[in-house]
Structure 1
Amino acid sequence: MLVRVLKFTLPCWFFMATSCAIAQPKVDQQIASARAVAFFQNYCIECHNKDEAMSGVRVDHVAEVGSFLEHRKSWKRVNEVLRFGAMPPEDAEQPSTKDLEQAQLWVANRIDSIDCDLIKDPGRVTIRRLNRLEYNNTIRDLFGIDFKPADDFPSDDVGEGFDNIGDVLSLPPLLLEKYLAAAEQISERIVYVPGAEAANEVAIDKENISIEGGGRISGSSIGFFSNGTVTLVVSIETKGKYEFSVDVGAEQAGPELAKMELALDGKTLLKQSVSALQNTPRKYTVAMDLAPGRHKIELSFINDFYNPKHPDPTQRDRNIYFSNGTLVGPTSVPVDELSAFNKIIHENIPQQPNDVTKEAAVVLNMIIHRVFRRELNPDEIEPYCNLVQLVVNQGESFQRGMQVAVNAILVSPRFIFRLEGGGKENSVKSIRDLDDYELASRLSYFIWCSTPDDELLNLAREGKLSNEKVLRGQLSRMLNDPRVRGLTVGFATQWLNLRNLAEVEPDPDVYDFPEELRVSMQSETERFFEHVLQENLSVLDFINGKYTFVNQTLATHYGLQDVASASDGDRFVQVSLDGVPRSGILTHGSILTLTSNPNRSAPVKRGKWIMENILGVRPPDPPADVPEIAAARKSLPNASFREQLNLHRENAVCASCHGQMDPLGFGFENFDGIGKYRTKDGEFAIDSSGILPSGEKFDGPMELVDILTNSGEAFARTLTERMLVFALGRGLDYYDECAVEKIMKQLKKDEYRFQTMMLHIVLSDPFLKRRGEDKQ
């Protein structure tokens, strides 16, 4: 991540729109360099040299030509710790404040001294596989099926804050096994093979059943000891005739046999007396016509009997047991009910043995270019046609051969990986434009986290997509397509840490935090992101937008009583926040809950979150010997939390970072650990006022929001950098600063509108070009 040049001791701090380095008076470079070299020799080199590079940082090459480009990441860390006053350590000789400021300013200037006319480097993206989200979305959009095989894949590693970074998307052996299994499952779902009845056991577990009444899971079966129903949810891709079978046994009692009922989507298909006993169950089979979609199969025990006083113990209690529920099918599918792909297969079934590969090529040509995201020549398709021929030669059907071919296509590296280059660039100095197919994939996986659609691929085939006017039009179309939801799930939930919300567990003794509130909070922030994007609003709305999206649950939680009483349950509506002490995402319940402790709000976490995600400033990690806040709380047990934290800040080890984080966090202290507005914390009145290191004062969250809004350029730059990282699938380097500056220039001209940012990211050199790698 690119780091802005900031000074915690100077008025420009992080609320200045431009780099502090630019704001400083120009000094003689030779004198400044000599002073800086002397500074590092006097205070740093003893612990940060070739032989002893503490924390992996060396500064002994400070005077070398080219040091700041070659070791830029290391110097950025030096800049951070100097800016925060975290170095030199407390027990070492200390420089004067002036010397420290001059050294930090010199480092910042050297880091940002980039001549964009000389440095022409679009960077190189490591070849990377589809991550889990991209894989699921791709299968959905290729084949139109509601199936998410990647949910069973190992979790993707995260780098630079995102799970689409090529350098960390490894391919462990377990994932290879999952790819093979997923390809088989997908091919079975999309290619209908007559006579091959796909048996899908309906597992008796918590994943796909619900039990009402007197039933419970007992070993491998579900036992009912009073009347009740077990509901099994199944998902169907192909319309046709299916058979559902289940083993049923009973413990008999009373004047009649135990009775069961089987219903499909609320309609009774079978009502049956059960004579079989628990240990010797009988299988019952029911035929059913199923359309694509989700269906409920309900098994009920309907005539419970219980007489604890019966003289015969075996006649006191009537119970029933269900096990081995299995759905089989489709056993037959009418031609007019086949999917579009299966109709193509049906229409091209070879009439002669010698026609198999020819007809297979006709069918595969309909899908393989979409799966591999580019056109293929006949020689590249031929191996898959030969595979169909091999299956047919073994006595199986043409449809089965197509199923095997699709399976093979889905485990090909051309599908699993996003391939670019094909060896065209072979040196670090080799730079080229992406071809149109590569551009189509970059664009679709950026905006949709999914595969290019037919329109993108057709434009790529015609060589038109790289035309700027066409590219602008396609971006506009894609941003207004429902598939842009992929950007929300892929980018926004990681940028804002929303994926962690599912793991947050507020203390139930302190907060009432039902699951529907958690889900509503996440949905609010996701809807807000999509609204700002699709309505092309200013990205500053993320800070100061006086509106939000709530359902009844969230409106009640926020104290919006008029909205809560008028809202329709789970349906979200846009509401104005005029006159309400909330604004932008910083007062969303999701963000406030994420940045809290289980039993209370956490100003330090909130301040750190704002610095990192809004202002793009990463505080250094706390020293290993930092004293615990608990020690301050113990020494002042009757003080407010703010007073206790102030005592903690008096320690010099803590003061530099807390001096910046704490005011930001305390500005939102009116919101408790789950984002509810309050004026008191226990017996103490809330003090949400503060003074920033810049000297700016605020009283309450809305005044702090106004100050943050005034630093809008810092936020816009942070969001631009994060979005560019996500778009490229790699971290940013010094040469990317030139692209960021160009994007920012256009963004400021257009009042920070979100789609302007997206457009100029897509038009940037890092997005449109790539270079080779250093083979040495």
Structure 2
Amino acid sequence: MLKAAAYLTLGLAALGTLAQGSQSMGRVQAWGAPPVAVHASELATAHRAGQAELFERSAGFSPGFDDNETIETYCVRCHNERRLRGNMSLEGFDAAAAADDAELAERLIRKLRAGMMPPSGARRPEERVLEELTESLEQQLDDHAARAPNPGHRSFQRLNRAEYEASVQDLLSLEIDAGDYLPLDTKSAGFDNIADAQILSATLMDGYLRAASEISRLAVGDPHVSVEEATYRVSRRASQTEHVPGAPYGTRGGVSVRHTFPADGEYSFRVSFHHETTGQLFGDGRNALTTDEESPELLEISIDGQRAVVLEVPRFMHTSDPDGVNLRAGPVFVQAGPRQVSAAFVRRAEGPLQDLISPHDWSIASTSVAGAYGFTSLPHLRDLAIRGPQAPQGVTDTPMRRAIFNCRPSEGEDGEACAAQIVERLARKAYRRPLDDEDRRGLMTLYQAGEADGGFEEGVRMAIEGMLASPHFVFRMEEPGAPAEDAGAHRVSDVDLASRLSFFLWGSGPDEELLSVAEEGRLSDSSERARQVSRMLAHPRSR
């Protein structure tokens, strides 16, 4: 009887709320059952007869409210325009039209799912009433999203450093380190390709402009380039006993780098070593490098695997010497282009190397005795510097020049027609779309300025510099396509879809086949799109 009385009290309270404006009839909604009209007097009679549970089951009665009344009764008292708890107001919110205010509905769903509403200590309905409210809101939002999907906001996206490197490699067959020109990318949640996090600062803009100038010179080659020095450093923790990838076999330690020589000419090399502090061991406080007198170390400098210079590391090198702990070699004639340059020690025997104090596989740069480097006969390379060209002699054919110059003007012929062909081909690939007349005019204006100053090749180089500095290369901008049903949305064009696919799967722009398919309007076909995705996944660029 107590249980029946409790149900009666709750049921009458519910009916009193539901039947406002009507004294005889209330409509209640059962859990998963159709609405049933119940007369208040019938319900009271049934409870007084002790048949409440049977009546509730047969009538499909639930002591909860409909969605709006649940919100009004349990939520609005805190979440109104006056109190505004949690910076959320539910006044005027219509649960039957939740999709009209989807953002507010999502906030309400999250709080209901987390058990935060109603809060602890506040009056709460039965859990199944809250569950019904939550599922009803979720279902409305899901149905609305299925009928009218929201593509979201699309920001124009800047190439990050990895994408910039890959795009330059694909366009010009030139390997670069974007870190030489561009600052670190801003990350969001650990990702460096989030458009909204990719700010464009003055420093970054200057880096893109400098990169465009230097990369175009490296790609085309510059017979009038001035002498420059590039230095490649070796970590103190790098092993000097193991073979370094890229260096010739039969060597150990050192460094191997990919260096682009801008012109044919003579280049000199400099290597330096980490010194040891001998003062705490021998009392003279000298900074020096010592090696075995009977069998001094040999350092080999090679270019593309071919030995260019062999240096003998002296038994004793002091920082007070004119060259300090440095060795110099050259000049050596090198043709223009990217080449693998290595500076490594010649391995003369198998087995452990002579190292008086440091553990095996360590050298003076990683050994500490009493707070100083240990005494050892094993030198540790600190850096490799390449300087030149001295007396440049022109530029030979390189992979970059072959990627650029697919035609050349005949002697005495105006080179503008050939330049226009080169610009059209490269800019279409750089901009990842067909060119328009404005693009052509701008790039050919740059060609004409360069050609007047330094001839045909300088004109082409100026046009390439303009491409690399263009927002159409640095940013992935999309043109609005055909309008979609939802106002403000548009369909992604085939060309923009090709760019999205290639950067997602390859981290670079589309290749010739993908771009051609997109220009023909065939990429929007699902079967062709699936074929292209399968091809791209099998391509080495996706690995």
TM-score (norm 2): 0.64
Q: Secondary structure of 1:196's partner?
A: coil
Deviation at 1:132, TM superposition (A): 4.0
Change (3 A) 1:454 1:325: same
Q: Supply the distance in 2 between the matched residues of 1:473 and 1:317 (Cα, whole angstroms).
A: 61
**Residue 338 in structure 1 maps to residue 398 in structure 2:** yes
1:415 corresponds to = 473
1:269 counterpart residue number = 309
- What amino acid is the match of 2:256? V
CA RMSD of aligned residues (A): 4.7
The answer for the alignment partner of 1:473 in structure 2 is 531
Q: Using the alignment, how far apart are the partners of 2:403 and 2:388 within structure 1?
A: 18
Gaps of 5+ in 2: 1-30, 38-60, 242-250, 274-287, 357-374
Cα distance in 1 for residues equivalent to 2:447 and 2:159: 27
Counterpart code for 1:466:
S
- Distance, in Å, in 1 between the alignment partners of 2:487 and 2:72 is 36
Does 1:284 pair with 2:307?
A: no
Q: Distance in 1 between matches of 2:195 and 2:136?
A: 34
Structure 1 pair 171/229, CA: closer, same or farther in 2 (3 Å)?
A: same
Looking at structure 1, the residues matched to 210 and 446 of structure 2 have their Cα atoms a distance apart, in angstroms, of 19
**Residue 114 of structure 1 aligns to a residue in which SS?**
helix
Q: Find the counterpart in structure 2 of residue 233 from structure 1.
A: 256
2:142 pairs, out of 112, 116, 128, with 112
Cross-structure match for 1:296: 342
Q: Deviations over 1:109-162 (max 9, x none)?
A: 333342856x37655523222344433332333333443416954334437x86
Q: Using the alignment, how far apart are the partners of 2:114 and 2:291 within structure 1?
A: 78
Q: Which amino acid aligns with 1:45?
A: V
CA distance in 2, matches of 1:266, 1:232: 15
Q: Separation in 2 of the partners of 1:204 and 1:44?
A: 65
Distance 1:271 1:414, change over 3 A: closer
Structure 1 residues 276 and 136: alpha-carbon distance in aligned structure 2, compared to 1, 3 A threshold: closer
Q: Distance in 2 between matches of 1:262 and 1:256?
A: 19
Give the structure 2 partner of residue 172 of structure 1: 201
The alignment covers a number of residue pairs equal to: 432
Q: Partner of 1:76 in structure 2?
A: 106
1:94 is matched by which residue type in structure 2? R
For residue 367 of structure 1, report the CA deviation from its aligned partner.
0.8
Give the TM-score taking structure 1 as reference length: 0.47
Partner of 1:405: 463
> Which residue number in structure 2 is paired with residue 25 of structure 1?
32
3-state SS, counterpart of residue 58 of structure 1? coil
User: Is residue 446 of structure 2 the alignment partner of residue 387 of structure 1?
Assistant: yes
CA contact (8 A) 2:481 2:492 kept: no
Please give the secondary structure, in 2, of the residue aligned with 1:92. Answer: coil
Residue from 84, 100, 107 that aligns with 2:130 = 100
Q: Which has the higher contact order (CA 8 A, sep 6+)?
A: 1
SS in 1 for 2:460: helix
Shift in Å, 1:411: 1.9
Identity %: 23
- Paired residue for 1:742? none
Amino acid at match of 1:355: D
Cα deviation, residue 457, structure 1 = 1.6
In structure 2, distance between residues paired with 1:334 and 1:482: 31
CA drift at 1:369: 0.2
1:658-710, CA deviations, whole angstroms, 9 ceiling, x for partnerless residues? xxxxxxxxxxxxxxxxxxxxxxxxxxxxxxxxxxxxxxxxxxxxxxxxxxxxx
Taking the TM superposition and a 5 Å limit, the aligned residue runs for 1:580-729 are none
Between the aligned partners of 1:397 and 1:389, the Cα distance in structure 2 is 9
Residue in 2 aligned with 1:549? none
Provide closer, same or farther for how the CA distance between residues 27 and 294 of structure 1 changes in structure 2, counting only shifts above 3 A. Answer: farther
Amino acid at match of 1:39: T
Aligned to 1:192: 221
User: How far apart are the structure 1 equivalents of 2:377 and 2:260?
Assistant: 39
The answer to whether 1:246 aligns with 2:270 is yes
The alignment partner of 1:203 has SS state of: strand
- 1:39 is matched with which residue: 43, 59, 70? 70
1:460 Cα deviation (Å)? 2.8
1:183-231 deviation line (CA, Å, top 9, x unaligned): 3343243222234267451233539x94527xxxxxxxxxxxxxx9861
Counterpart amino acid of residue 342 in structure 2 = K
Q: 1 CA distance for matches of 2:355 and 2:149?
A: 83
Distance (whole Å) between structure 2 residues aligned to residue 323 and residue 182 of structure 1: 27
SS at match of 2:154: coil
Matched AA of 2:123: E
2:408: which partner in 1? 348
The structure having more radius of gyration, on CA atoms, is 2
Q: Distance in 2 between matches of 1:270 and 1:120?
A: 68
Deviation of 1:482 after TM superposition, in Å, equals 2.7
Q: Deviations over 1:221-263 (max 9, x none)?
A: xxxxxxx986122114579776242167977999899876333
Q: The residue matched to 2:176 in structure 1 has which SS?
A: coil
Distance in 1 between the 2:385 and 2:159 partners? 33
Aligned counterpart in structure 2 of residue 49 of structure 1, from 70, 75, 80 = 80
Secondary structure of the corresponding residue to residue 201 of structure 1: strand
TM-aligned CA distance change 1:403 to 1:76, over 3 Å: same
SS of the aligned residue for 2:329 comes to strand
Q: Is the CA contact 1:254–1:305 (under 8 Å) kept in the aligned structure 2? A: no
Higher helix proportion: 1
Q: Which residue type is aligned with residue 191 of structure 1?
A: V
1:182 and 2:237 correspond:
no
Whether the aligned pair in 1 keeps the contact of 2:78 and 2:85 (CA below 8 Å) is: yes
Give the aligned partner of residue 62 of structure 1: 93
Give, in angstroms, the shift of residue 373 of structure 1: 0.9
| Alignment equivalent of 2:166, drawn from 137, 152, 167 | 137
Residues 447 and 484 of structure 1 are in contact (CA less than 8 Å); yes or no, is this contact kept in structure 2?
A: yes
**CA offset at residue 452 of structure 1?**
0.8
Distance 1:266 1:338 in 2: 18
The answer on whether the counterparts of 2:301 and 2:310 sit within 8 Å (CA) in structure 1 is: yes
**Counterpart secondary structure, 1:112:** helix
Q: Distance in 1 between matches of 2:378 and 2:501?
A: 59
Alignment partner of 2:119 out of 89, 107, 113:
89
